[in-house]
Every structure is written in C-alpha cells, then in structure tokens.
Amino acid sequence: MPSVPLIIGHRGASGYRPEHTSAAYELAFALGADAVEPDVVATKDGVLVLRHENEISTTTDVATRKEFRHLRTTKTIDGVKRTGWFTEDFTWAELSTLRAVERLTDLRQASASFDRQYPVMRLSHLFGLVDRESERAGRALGLVVELKHATYFEQLGLPLDELFAASVDEAGWGDEQSRLVVESFERTVLAQVRSRAVRGKFVYLIEASGAPYDAVARDGASARTYEQELDGPGLYTLATGVGEQAIDGISVNKTLLLDSGADTTTDLVDRAHEAGLEIFAWTLRAENRFLSRPFRRGGGADRYGDWRHEFEVLMSTGVDGVFADQPDLAVVVRDAL
C-alpha cells in the first residue's frame, strides 16, 4: 500500500504539461503519484471527455478553428453566465480533432511550449492508460474521477451517472473498489452513481464558501451551505447518510485546513476522522500565486515560493490525500515526513 497521504496528480502533472493530456497523466505517474484526477464532462453524443470545464476556450485550440466558429455562444452554467465553446455542442468526432493548450500561460510558459501536441482525451482512454502504467510501475495506481456540472448535464439529457457507470463497465473497472474514487461538488450524482452498482469510494468536494448547485437547484435560497456541511452534526450526517446516501470522505479547499498563521491548522481533519470520514485537500501548487500568503516569496506570481513549508503543514494534519499540480514535490515532502 502507498504511504499516507496519497499523492494525487491534479489533472495529471498539470504543473508541467497541459492538463488532462496523456502526457500529463503519464508524467504524474512517472513522478511518483499514486493516482490521477480527471475532470469529466460530456459531449453532445454522450461521450465522457476530460476537461477542466465544459467551456473549452482556454484549454483547447478551438478559438483558432474556423470550422467551429459558429458554435461560440453564451450559456448559464450552475448560475454563472459564460461565453465560449462548450463540449455538449460537439460530437466526439468533432471534439477529438481539437488539441490541448496550457490554461495558465502567464504562469507556466514551459508547459505552454507543449501546446497543440496532444488531443483531447475521453475517459475510456484514461482507464487504459492507468492500467498500463500500473503494470509498468508494478503497483496498483488509481483514478479519482470528478463529475462536473451533473445537474446541468442531466437537464440536457446527458446523465453523467449513467454515462459514467457504462464507461466503468466497458473498461472492466466495475470491481476496482480499491483503485476508483468518484467525487463531485454535488452529492446527488454521487448517490446516483452508487445506485448503479459502481464500486469505489465516494467523496464529496467542499468549497470554502457557497452552496452545492444541486441543492440550490432544489432548495433555492434555503439550500444547505458547504459551511453547514462541516459543522459537528453535518460531518456525522455525511458519514451516516441520514436522509441521503452516505459518503466515504470529503475533499476540501486547502484554506479550510490552514489557520491564520504559517504553522497553525484547523481541527477539521480530526473532526472528519472522528465522524468516520476520510479527508482530502486541494490543491498543492508551488507557484507564489497559489500559495497561502505566509508562504509566498519574492520574484513574481509565477516563481516558486516556500512550497515545501506549506506542503509540510498541510500533510502534518493527518490528511488522507492531497491533490498536487507538481506531484514530485508532494512526494518529496510526504516521504520526508
């Protein structure tokens, strides 16, 4: 078994290669990651593809493709108006012609040098990649699959739970309970996937503020907030499934673990464990822009700050797993601890 915490390559090794590409995932495993995390959205014809969002203007070369110019539009996704190109307006055959580009070009120029070298991936490709990398590494490597905008896609007639369960079965991962984690910011889709007999761990993603969109769509202004989910009774409710399907763990914004000082942390990890939940944290990144203020150093937003110190503080909480853009740096800190 790998050491704790698990090191999960966030969208692959996205600090070094354009995210959600085969190169990013392969590099993450080469750098020691125990698992990788794809974000999953759907195409018009029901193929699950790997993109940070269903709006793809910043992660592909679609804006340069004249044949798709007519598909540019404005939509409201989970209450937020966005303009661009959306995966649900493309067939897989069309989307597969696009090439991935670095999303954070101002911070990651080295990664941007790999722009347009890799096609958009579908989820079925990644199952095979993880199997091959597991064989190469001589150990079981895992997938932490995030289902994005599930309520929105269901309203379009593209139910992510059904599409995901079919993809899992097709890939032969139906019994991969120890290697598969399913996560979402919406608990509804987690329950739906579990009801389809997908075996794995089910993890609820939690933001530092706001409320989950499935709850907002159902309950409006009275929707239960993420903050309420984390109070004492809330954690036990998540673990026991009172009124809803139980979950196995939570995955939280790292700011929920860091107190105001550079070396002080909250009690959230201990409270989650006491409630019977595993807990993961996101996202560990080395650049100053993403580090908490006490760990930033001079030289600009793109320069590495005191990443080692922040990573040490977070991992010392006893967290069960961390998501990292630079998985090799996270492995170094974990192994030292």
Give 150-172 pLDDT, tens digit per residue: 999 999 999 999 999 999 999 99
How high is the pLDDT of residue 262?
Answer: 72
Q: What is the rounded average pLDDT of the residues 237-263?
A: 87
CB 146 within 8 A of CB 205: yes
How high is the pLDDT of residue 218?
Answer: 94
CB 302 within 8 A of CB 107: yes
How high is the pLDDT of residue 2?
Answer: 53
CA–CA gap between residue 95 and residue 154 (Å, rounded) = 20
Nearest to 86 by CA among 97, 99, 72, 76: 72
Q: What is the rounded average pLDDT of the residues 302-323?
A: 97
Neighbours of 121 (CB within 10 A): 21
Rg (CA), the chain: 19
Place of tokens 């079965």: 169
pTM for the predicted model, two decimal places: 0.96
In this structure, the strands spanning 180-184 and 39-42 are unpaired
How high is the pLDDT of residue 3?
Answer: 65
- 291 CA to centre of own chain: 18
Burial class (CB in 10 A: 0-12, 13-18, 19+), 1: exposed
Neighbours of 220 (CB within 10 A): 8
CA–CA gap between residue 39 and residue 103 (Å, rounded) = 14
Q: What is the rounded average pLDDT of the residues 261-284?
A: 93
What CA–CA distances, in Å, run from 78 to 14, 53, 88? Answer: 25, 12, 15
Q: Band of the pLDDT at 101, cuts 50, 70, 90?
A: very high
In the predicted structure, residue 1 carries a pLDDT above the cut 50? no
CB 291 within 8 A of CB 325: no
In this structure, the strands spanning 48-50 and 39-42 are antiparallel
Q: What is the rounded average pLDDT of the residues 13-33?
A: 98
How high is the pLDDT of residue 324?
Answer: 98
Matching CATH number, 6-54+121-336, of 3.20.20.190, 3.60.20.10, 1.10.10.10, 3.30.300.30: 3.20.20.190
Q: What is the rounded average pLDDT of the residues 178-198?
A: 95
